[in-house]
Amino acid sequence: MMYLDALTELVPWFHALDHTHYARWIPVHLKDMAELTTKHPDVARKFREGHFTVQKTQRVFSSIPIDQAHEQNNACIKGDGGAVGLTDNPSALRRWMVAGPEVARVIEEFQDGNQHWRRQTADTQEMGNPFEEESQDVVKLDTKEIAGPAAVETVMNAKRIGQEQFEAFTRECLLDRTKAVDDPIPRNKLKVFSTSTPRSQSKGQQQLASVKNDRELFARLYIGCQTRDGNLEELFRHENQACPPALSDGGSLCTGTKNDLLTCLEEVSGPLKTETPVTTCIVLDGAAIVQMLKPAASKTFEEYAQQIFIPYMSTKLQTVSRLDLVWDTYLADSLKGSTRAKRGQGVRRRVVAAAAIPGNWQNFL
């Protein structure tokens, strides 16, 4: 049966993604269904005839389980308070039970039959058609988040991991019965569309690590001096650590404050000019502009561009004939590479017109 085949394909994912309740009891249900033909042949025959489903249309393939049909009908007739409190009033419960199916039928006839197709079309236009995706990235459709390497590895290996756990659970708990069904199921904690920002060491931890390195260095030096003559002055003329302390801070390149350069430039520059020079071109730092212009009420990147970013650029073009927008480029072997590493690596996100603006604009940038 397609029902059993679909459940069998889903169980490995329950194991892999730590849905322990489904991972525990659906194999039990599958075993019961497999033994149904021998233990209860009449019930199995009714199942094969499709008596456990409901048809809401003339298409047999679109049949749904009975409990799902009940939930859909309940959703049609529930008010703001739902069915809460009806069981305390027998007369109200009887009215609800008698009138409920008729109310659901009237609502279904009133609704446009094409609304589901229209909603699906609108979602496709908003999120994009996944079948037209040509890049090698694994992208989340609604937020356009790009999965990191750990999430990609999870997608590649999750089915295999879950299948192995499913087979082991079935063999140990249902066939050999060497373990109880309610024994704890270990969690995999696989990362899916989540990246952990690397934590940088605090100043105290860096100083402690430096002291430990110095201690180990002097310990080795002391042991070496026991067997051979050592010249400390000659030793300390050379670098004795992987990262020279004079140039690095905790293994990273020492940095300064940009404002300190202003004092040096003022000393070598000429007299300060207060009048605004006549210019025909302006160069703007794109990253600084985006940091300055908050999204405000914009919901998507298209709204942000049309309502905030482009109008700001237009005001700048009113006084000049050319505008150049410059953006940062982080090269792997550049000095700014260490700066980017200090800031951490957040969730990568594909910026397209229909994508929603992230809730935390500063973290996104």
Residue range 298-351, pLDDT digits in tens: 888 888 999 999 999 999 888 888 999 998 777 777 767 666 666 655 667 778
Bridge partners, residue 326, by sequence: 285
pLDDT, mean over the chain: 79
Q: Tell me if 265 is assigned to some domain.
A: no
156 with 7, same domain?
Answer: yes
Domain of 211 in residue numbering reads as 203-249
The confidence score (pLDDT) of residue 125 equals 61
The separation between the first and the last C-alpha atoms of the chain, rounded to the nearest angstrom, is 50
Per-residue pLDDT band for 77 (boundaries 50, 70, 90) equals low
Phi, psi at residue 65, to the nearest 5°?
-60, 155
Q: Which candidate, 306, 305, 309, places its Cα nearest to that of 293?
A: 309
User: How would you classify the pairing of strands 53-54 and 281-285?
Assistant: unpaired
Model pTM score? 0.54
CB-facing half-sphere around the CA of 167: CA atoms within 13 A: 5
239 with 289, same domain?
Answer: no
58 with 134, same domain?
Answer: yes
The confidence score (pLDDT) of residue 80 equals 47
Strands (E) in 29-156, as ranges, are: 53-54, 64-65, 145-146
Q: Tell me if 267 is assigned to some domain.
A: no
Q: Tell me if 194 is assigned to some domain.
A: no
The confidence score (pLDDT) of residue 76 equals 67
Q: Which residue has the higher pLDDT, 170 or 102?
A: 170
Q: Which residue has the higher pLDDT, 76 or 268?
A: 268
The confidence score (pLDDT) of residue 228 equals 74
Bridge partners, residue 53, by sequence: 65
Q: Would you say residue 241 has pLDDT above 80?
A: no
112 with 227, same domain?
Answer: no
Least confident of 123-127, 172-176, 243-247: 123-127
137 with 241, same domain?
Answer: no
Q: Tell me if 266 is assigned to some domain.
A: no
Q: Tell me if 136 is assigned to some domain.
A: yes
Q: Tell me if 290 is assigned to some domain.
A: yes
215 with 323, same domain?
Answer: no
Last residue of a domain, one of 249, 265, 287: 249
Least confident of 105-109, 161-165, 265-269: 105-109
Residue type present at position 178 = T
Q: Would you say residue 27 has pLDDT above 90?
A: yes
Q: Which residue has the higher pLDDT, 212 or 192?
A: 212
Three-state secondary structure call for residue 276:
coil
The confidence score (pLDDT) of residue 22 equals 93
**Count of structural domains, the chain:** 3
157 with 55, same domain?
Answer: yes
The confidence score (pLDDT) of residue 216 equals 82
Residue type present at position 222 = Y
Q: Which residue has the higher pLDDT, 13 or 152?
A: 13
110 with 221, same domain?
Answer: no
* Percent of the chain scoring above 70 in pLDDT: 80
The top-scoring range by mean pLDDT among 2-6, 105-109, 163-167, 355-359 is: 163-167
Q: Tell me if 255 is assigned to some domain.
A: no
9 with 129, same domain?
Answer: yes
11 with 112, same domain?
Answer: yes
8-17 in b/e form (b: 16+ CB < 10 A) is: eeebbbbbbb
Cα(179)–Cα(246) distance, integer angstroms: 61
Mean pLDDT of 125-150: 73
215 with 170, same domain?
Answer: no
The confidence score (pLDDT) of residue 247 equals 76
Mean pLDDT of 275-283: 84
**Using one digit for the tens of pLDDT, what is the confidence trace for 29-63?**
999 988 888 998 898 888 888 778 888 777 777 78
159 with 294, same domain?
Answer: no
Q: Tell me if 25 is assigned to some domain.
A: yes
